Amino acid sequence: MLAPASIHSASKSALENSNGVDRLSSLPDELLHHVMSFLPMPEVVRTSLLSVRWRSLWASTPFVHIDYQDFKDENKPRGVDDEKLKEFGDHLLLLRDDAVCLDEARIFVTHGSSWNNFAWVRHAIKHKVRLLQVSGSVHSPYLDSTSMFPSQHLKIIRLQSLFLCHRFFAMLNNEWSVVEYLELEECSLIRVKEISSRSLKVLHMIRCFNGEGLLICARSLTDLSILDPTCLGAIVTRDLSSLSSESLNFPIDTMVYGHRLLHGLSHATTLELHAPLHELAFERGMQTCPMFNNLTSLLLGNWCMVADFYPLLRILQGSSKLKELNVKLKMEECSICKKSESALSSSRATLSGRGNYPSIERIKICCLEEDPRVYALVNALQPTINPDGKISIERC
């Protein structure tokens, strides 16, 4: 980082054009704040040295960015100078103009003394922040009610590597009435049994851990994504009447027999299922699942196919508007599926009379190499393809 003397001398030539006129400083505050938003926050504060015009400009920015990477120090135990980080964050919030509301607050810290009991998060919410992004570490404490305040302004929340307790989600349902976007990445949900919200439109959960079953209930939700979860109980969806796009991705070693993920998805127009969602679990869900009357695009990834493709054909027969189907076959056969197939076949209802097949325009099948199941799958899908439609087979 530049020293005060050097930044002052460098700034003179940067601000003035060839005629010695400082046109940048003549811009309105809103534009200068936009320019400053691309700088690291310590550099934003240092602009106060440029001139009288810039002296207090940093204090009225509608954003706060506190990033541990701006305070890296290889001589410190964790490679970060936590004391400087904490001091900078505390002074930044203490000295900024309290009359200015925050559009966004982005806080990236490591574990340690810099957290100061999430005082920075409390400050952001108190100042009517609309976008809150907090990234911690696996050792970060709970982000609970001591850090939270009711807000009628908070719309977007992005959290990474934090412990979240049930109180946080109670706030989401009752006291943050305008939150529309929630993204949780590598977070641990402790004693959380339900995520519900009347305002939430987008929910993305990426590699999150939940020690119990989880109910997702949000009538305004249009986009749901659950990627690589670790859940010790069932994940159940309910009252997702506005859902248009849904993506589920489970890691290879995840067993999902108890998950009733399909129950709340009958209104989805785009559905992605990345498994291994074993056929046994899928078939049991389909037996009580309503029709997918709005579904136009379906992607099945890492799929385990039983011999007669019953669960796949069942969902197709319940998706009369489907136009695009992508199937990514998993090369290994599922031993659990093979063992359960004979037991299930006797209890299966015939597909006739349970709905009409769609008229699919595009079917794409991906497999790792020559797989004899591909040709059987193509034959099984023939009744679903539009006369002018196309089936393509790709190696992936």
The per-residue pLDDT for 10 is 46
Hey, what are 271's tokens? Answer: 């559905």
- The H-or-E segment that residue 198 falls in is none
Amino acid 32 reads L
- Predicted TM-score (pTM) of this structure: 0.76
Q: pLDDT tens for residues 22-35?
A: 778 889 999 999 99
The per-residue pLDDT for 248 is 64
Strand partners, 189: 164, 210
The per-residue pLDDT for 200 is 93
The per-residue pLDDT for 113 is 47
The per-residue pLDDT for 373 is 76
- Tokens 């003394």: give the residue: 113
Report the alpha-carbon distance of residue 244 to residue 266 in Å, rounded: 9
Which 8-state DSSP code applies to residue 332? S
The per-residue pLDDT for 185 is 94
Q: pLDDT tens for residues 136-165?
A: 865 555 666 667 788 999 999 999 988 888
Ranges of the chain whose pLDDT falls below 50: 1-11, 113-114, 252-259, 277, 342-344, 346-347, 352-354
Which 8-state DSSP code applies to residue 202? E
